[in-house]
Structure 1
Amino acid sequence: MRRNLAALVLFCATAAVFAIVGADDPYRFFNWNVTYGDIYPLGVRQQGILINGQFPGPDIHSVTNDNLIINVFNSLDEPFLISWAGIQQRRNSFEDGVFGTTCPIPPGKNFTYILQVKDQIGSFYYFPSLGFHKAAGGFGGIRILSRPRIPVPFPDPAGDYTVLIGDWYKANHTDLKAQLDGGHKLPFPDGILINGRGSGGASFNVEQGKTYRLRICNVGLQNSLNFRIQNHKMQLVEVEGTHTLQTTYSSLDVHLGQCSSVLVTADQPAKDYYIVASSRFTAPQVLTTTAVLRYSNSAGSASGPLPGGPTIQVDWSLNQARSIRTNLTASGPRPNPQGSYHYGMINTTRTIRIANSAGQVNGKQRYAANSVSFVAPDTPMKIADYFKISGVFRVGSISDNPTGGGIYLDTSVMQADYRAFIEIVFQNDEDIIQSWHLDGYAFFVVGMDGGQWTPASRNEYNLRDAVFRCTTQVYPNSWTAIYMALDNVGMWNIRSEHWARQYLGQQFYLRVYTASTSLRDEYPIPKNAILCGRASGRSTRPL
């Protein structure tokens, strides 16, 4: 009976939007059941979040412009949401899967996400966005392949692997959440996982002489990680949907929330080799874990010392980040060079400066952007906006510039004009590395350096081949600048990927607004949308 009901719900949801999404583009259907289950990633039993019994969850394989129909049953005993890191939800922030835009799926209920990977390629991931669920699993890889007629700037690899790396705690996510709710910081993590397993647990099979693609995503909670393979080089070819200059590295820093694709050729004597992920900028405590690169004709187990990582110095990582550039001659999701969009020749109309900070509010630990520590309202802001429900949020509740004042609580929403071209500067005056993500968008990382940003810093910008991505790191006591075209109407989450900081307020929402009601600018609220808070009981039929 439940399967028949699920099929009916899925059919109705699909039919409801068939006229909106691209009817000529392929559909891919997924049925997911989200449950709790026992997992043992670091050798102790924990309560993990499983999708169809899997930890990590199943990969999503798709092609540019595919319509993804993902029916999610919440079999947990609490509300649940999945968000899609890097999937831009063109004109459709209602499907973004964060609380500012989407009502949670109640226990025992389902929701069908209807997404289109419009004009996108590349490597991304999904994750649970509510509470501290991310510390229990529920994440998995997303790959968007180019359409067959679009040339890719490297030969088809012999294999294509998702590699999810991230720091991990032995404590259940409920205990970690209780620490944060009690106003405390999180302790140092207990280990690092590769594809949900601790040291030596994951392996990747290769054949001698062949080349493989590894899609590496840092899905962790707190730490940047360095990734390397014993006796093997890695050729970087893509980051979050952008083909890059094919630079060769012996190790690669992957910061929180980021994804990178590398090509690895099995060109060494046939045996097993260590794959290593280790924490960055955490000395004297450094976490290290291993997986195995296993040759099909292996003559022996992995042995010898682990390949060494980079030094603790920030300059090494900063220089590597600057070396990651867009391949201007490669086609992206459309049959034209990626460099055909000359972002460096467009004048910005607004500069937004965002500074992260930590402090106490009412005796409890909080984190902030421009002194505002975000507090979720009782109704998702996007839904309140659609139904014109007053009192849920206030546009302009966060400043365009750091205030220099103490941290305070508010539901922070910043207004921005549709089709503007803007500059955002992330200023990090703390001694930690920070990582920022923008839902609904990718952006050009035009500059980063130590110290304070000033208008003169623009003289250092890369205005020709800066990498185009959706998550950027900001080094300790440093700044990072991005350019972004506001071409996607909606309410979009801008957040720290340091998950305890995000949970305790280091996020806000960008309301990209137009008075137009055309479907060319924004889709209406989905007919299957769950309504909650002050929107409960309303109709999703057109207003």
Structure 2
Amino acid sequence: MHSYKILTLITILTYSIFLLLPNVSLSSPIVSNHESPNANFQKKTGNQKTPILSNHNSPYTKQTGNENKLNLLDNDFPHTTFQKEEKKTGNKKADSHAFNIPPTSSISQKKAGNKNINGLTFNKPSPLSSFHRQAGNKNSKNLNIKVPKVPPFSPISLSNVSLYLPIIPGKDSQYENKHKKGNEKVYDLTISRGSNAPDGFKRDMFLINGQFPGPLIECNKGDTLVINVKNELDEDTTIHSHGMFQRGTPWYDGVPGQTQCGIPSKGSLTYKFKVEQSGTYWYHSHSRTQYIEGIIGPLIVHEPNDPYKNECDEEIIVILQDWYHTDAKTLLATFLSPASQGNEPSPDNGLINGHNSFNCSSASEGSDCVSNAPLAQFKFVKGKKYKLRIINASAFSAFIFSIDGHSMDVVEVEGMITRRHTVHRLPINIAQRYSVIVTADQPIDQYWMRAEMETSCFAVVSDDLNPLITAVVTYDTYNGSTDQGPSSKAWSDDVENCVDLKASDLKPYKNQKIPNPSKNFTIVINFQPDENDVVLGYINNSTYKIDTNDPTLIKVYNGVTQFSPNLNVFTVEKDEIVDLILLNQDAGEHPFHLHGHVFWCLGSGEDGTQPDYNSLNTKDPIQRDTATIPAGGWAILRFVSNNPGVWGFHCHIEWHVASGLVAQFVTQPDQIKRLNPPDEWKALCPNSFNSSNSSNSSNGPKSSDSYNSSNSPNRHNSSNGSNRPNNSHSPNSSNNSNRPNNYHSLNSPNSFYNTKSKKHGL
């Protein structure tokens, strides 16, 4: 009995000591900060599996110092994402989790068994070409993991070209919002100038963290994004998170002259905002022509309740864009001169995930150019399903996207989850985004991924432009020749040029009740020469003139209620249901994008048709943030003014933004003044607050009581000065006065700018 008491006492003391020890779980990973890129290894403790989470101290990531516990169950995915890979150790299997640790610059692509270097799989011939993410974690156990709040992905620089190894989960490993609501994701972006050769033609351009395109930013719906931007350029810059509502933080929308003054050279600004939506987005500079020069990157927001999450195994980001070999400032100076007659510069090439090849025999003498540069590469595994998040980050070009032999099911449009719609060739205009599900169900082989520029929308086409932009999709077990490229055949489906995918083909996953309008604005789009014979863009006969030192948002804080006509301001109050009747009096189509909101696309028509209010789709229209206004045609969009702020509304052809085809909505001005902007933002405009308002003496555009329009000449027919017919037909339409006839010819490209749409939208 005495021995039993002693044994009991020892047991109690041992248990008490154990309780006093730090929280230790045999199933918990060791969190370590390794400076070596080779830090991803598997540690074994007896027979326990102990994955090591490595947080590399990248100069482009920032730790917040706080940690969040994540409970990982089967089919869950942690904030810090990883790729699970089985490695044999004797007769036992050990887990290895690759955490996107940047390798040193000395690492080059080389054979290492199955082309796996430090746990990172490279695609040939260029490991730098795709935002291809592996799903994993299919056999994850119940782990109680401490994960520091750091950006989940780090950029990797290899031979001055961008390498991305981001991981997006598939059906067995979802990146879900399992952590505490309101978690912060922190990213550092350094904007600088450097040399790069995305298509083999080397030129000076802008880089983000030394790479192009910029690093992936991602988070969960409900998170707070913190983006620290440092400007190493010799000019001002901004970053616009394309499609983010910025509810409660309108000063972080990133538009110079509207929501902020620019970040000065060697200056910095932290953009911090709550993310209320989910879907496929991107970020870019909103300062003149800078995103043409390379300041772009993907922004992905994960939706934990995505109805399609169990229908894809992996996700791939595909960024399409046009590319110029001449500095954009030089091109803009020519475009904004009488010599151009309003004809936009033709691209020299196009890129997929920052890669393409170029025929250097057509390059100017003295150019640093290498022909047959590597194309973007994508790896498919037979039988797997892939969600492709497609982003058109062009300045001027619309594309038709396809993968030979593979059908695509559209499931998302700019944040709006849609019913499945199968296509072979997908038209995608500037700034639009689509998610499509593709099944790897074809014979083991290589296939072309195609992005066909819609040059029929261009005014002028460069003689050296190859409008077919390609990448290569290779099945993982393919062992044939790669010398000649794929032999696959393109789809032959007809797709109408310079317009969006048919509205009838895009239906929301869940129908919404569409409210009736309480206000409408008629917006007439046209181009005409100014007094210096420079062709500019006009909205209701007013061309936008930016005031970078006194943004509209600051004017509102200073009590301004009347704005210069050239600011093109429309004012809306709280919860008004606003119809925008856009009448395109121009012979080219225009992709119009609305910041801070999404809109329902109620109807549109091409040249020769008239808007008919009675034929609008108010039953199940798609909701998005960018819509193409057809050449000579019309569109009617509806949104709810429930987000206080100053929100841009503009054509997303970058050349047209610079030419003044821009308006802005001042939404709920009284509510704006109740929001408290940060001092760091105010400091960018030190002389603007409480400044004189004497220059703002006239009223901006007014809401109309009926659908009406003004005639404006066809800019293609400047020689005869003929007017287009009055194409406004609706109840209560009023008489319209003709506009001047002396318009110069200007061909507008197919370019459609989308920022974002929300599921139960604004």
Bin of the TM-score, shorter chain as denominator length: 0.7 to 0.9
Partner of 2:584: 428
Q: Tell me, which stretches of 5 or more residues in structure 2 are unaligned?
A: 1-56, 66-179, 358-373, 692-762
1:342 has 2:523 as partner: no
Specify the alignment match of 1:497 in structure 2: 652
Question: In 2, Cα distance between the equivalents of 1:412 and 1:537?
Answer: 21
Deviation per residue, 1:361-384 (Å, 9 max, x gap): 122121111211100123111022
1:193 is aligned to: 351
Contact 1:423–1:484, Cα closer than 8 Å, also in 2 = yes
CA distance in 2, matches of 1:93, 1:382: 8
Cα deviation, 1:2-37, whole Å, max 9, x if unaligned, reads: x9x9999999xxxxxxxxxxx941100011111111
Aligned residue number for residue 278 of structure 1: 452
Q: Which secondary structure state, in structure 1, belongs to the residue aligned with residue 650 of structure 2?
A: strand
- Give runs of aligned pairs for residues 136-535 of structure 1, distance below 5 A: 136-147=293-304, 150-182=305-337, 184=340, 185-199=343-357, 201-280=375-454, 282=456, 287-300=467-480, 301=482, 302-304=485-487, 306-308=489-491, 311=494, 313-314=496-497, 317=499, 320-328=502-510, 339=511, 341-343=512-514, 346-361=515-530, 362-377=532-547, 378-388=549-559, 394-395=562-563, 397=565, 410-451=566-607, 457-516=612-671, 523-532=675-684, 535=687
How far apart, in 2, do the equivalents of 1:452 and 1:270 lie?
Answer: 48
Q: Which segment drifts farther, 222-231 or 355-364?
A: 355-364
Residue by residue over 1:188-234, the C-alpha shift from the partner in whole angstroms, topping out at 9 and shown as x without a partner, is 21111111111461111121100111111111011211000011000
Q: Aligned residues: percent identity?
A: 25
C-alpha displacement of 1:459: 2.2
Residue 279 of structure 2 corresponds to residue 110 of structure 1 = no
Deviations 1:149-179 (A, max 9, x none): x252352522211111122211122322332
Cα root mean square deviation, aligned:
2.8
1:79 to 218, 230, 236: 236
Amino acid at match of 1:304: S
Instruction: Point out where structure 1 has 5 or more consecutive residues left out of the alignment.
Output: 12-22, 329-338, 398-409
CA–CA distance in structure 2, aligned partners of residues 168 and 353 of structure 1: 34
Match of 2:79 in 1: none
CA contact (8 A) 1:10 1:71 kept: no
Question: What amino acid maps onto 2:670 in structure 1?
Answer: A
**What count of residue pairs does the alignment treat as equivalent?**
490
1:304-346: CA deviations, max 9, x gaps?
365156557459x566343111111xxxxxxxxxx2x301xx2
Is the CA contact (8 Å cut-off) linking 2:411 and 2:437 kept in structure 1?
yes
CA contact (8 A) 2:550 2:688 kept: no
Cα distance in 2 between the residues matched to 1:283 and 1:488: 34
Would the aligned equivalents of 1:425 and 1:479 in 2 still touch at CA under 8 Å?
Answer: yes
State which drifts further: 292-301 or 374-383.
Answer: 292-301
Are residues 131 and 9 of structure 1, via their aligned partners in 2, closer, same or farther at CA, if it must alter by over 3 Å? farther
Give the letter aligned to residue 487 of structure 2: G
**Partner-residue secondary structure (3-state), 2:516:** coil
Residue by residue over 1:419-476, the C-alpha shift from the partner in whole angstroms, topping out at 9 and shown as x without a partner, is 1001112222322221000000111111112246756x12221112211111111222
- Counterpart position of 2:196: 39
Cα distance in 2, alignment partners of residues 8 and 121 from structure 1:
23
How far off its partner does 1:181 sit?
4.5
Cα deviation, 1:9-67, whole Å, max 9, x if unaligned, reads 999xxxxxxxxxxx941100011111111121232212221111120001111110110
In 2, distance between residues paired with 1:309 and 1:219? Answer: 25
Residues 427, 500 of structure 2: 8 Å contact kept: no
- Determine the C-alpha separation between the residues in 2 that align with 1:448 and 1:283: 18
1:119-175, CA deviations, whole angstroms, 9 ceiling, x for partnerless residues?
Answer: x1110111111011011111011111113xx25235252221111112221112232
Q: Matches of 1:8 and 1:256 in 2, distance apart?
A: 32
The separation in 1 between residues aligned to 2:60 and 2:438, in whole angstroms, is: 42
| 8 Å CA contact 2:427, 2:501 repeated in 1 | no
Question: How far 1:385 moved relative to its partner?
Answer: 1.6
When residues 350 and 282 of structure 1 are mapped into structure 2, their CA distance, relative to the original with a 3 A threshold, is same
Whether the 8 Å contact between 1:95 and 1:115 is mirrored in structure 2 is yes
Q: 1:128 is matched with which residue: 274, 280, 285? A: 285
Aligned 8 A contact 1:233 1:248 in 2: yes
Give the drift of 1:112: 0.3
2:444 partner SS: coil
- Which of the pair is proportionally richer in strand? 1
Does the residue aligned with 2:330 lie in a helix, a strand or coil? helix
Partner SS state of residue 88, structure 1: coil
Residues 94-109 of structure 1 mapped to structure 2, 5 A cutoff: 94-99=251-256, 100-109=258-267
Instruction: Tell me the distance in 1 between the aligned counterparts of 2:270 and 2:641.
Output: 27
| Greater mean alpha carbon deviation, residues 371-380 or residues 275-284 | 275-284
Q: Distance in 1 between matches of 2:202 and 2:429?
A: 28
Contact 2:507-2:622 at 8 Å conserved across structures: yes
Instruction: Find the aligned partners of 2:546 and 2:224 in 1 and give their Cα distance.
Output: 30
Q: Which amino acid in structure 2 is aligned with residue 364 of structure 1?
A: V
Shift of 1:113: 0.3
In 1, the alpha carbon distance for the partners of 2:393 and 2:316 equals: 15
Amino acid at match of 1:138: I
In structure 2, relative to structure 1, the CA distance for the partners of 1:298 and 1:182 (3 Å cut) is same
Counterpart-to-counterpart distance in 2, 1:111 and 1:514: 25
The 8 Å contact of residues 557 and 689 in structure 2, kept in 1 or not, is answered as no
Structure number with higher relative contact order (C-alpha < 8 Å, ≥ 6 residues apart): 1
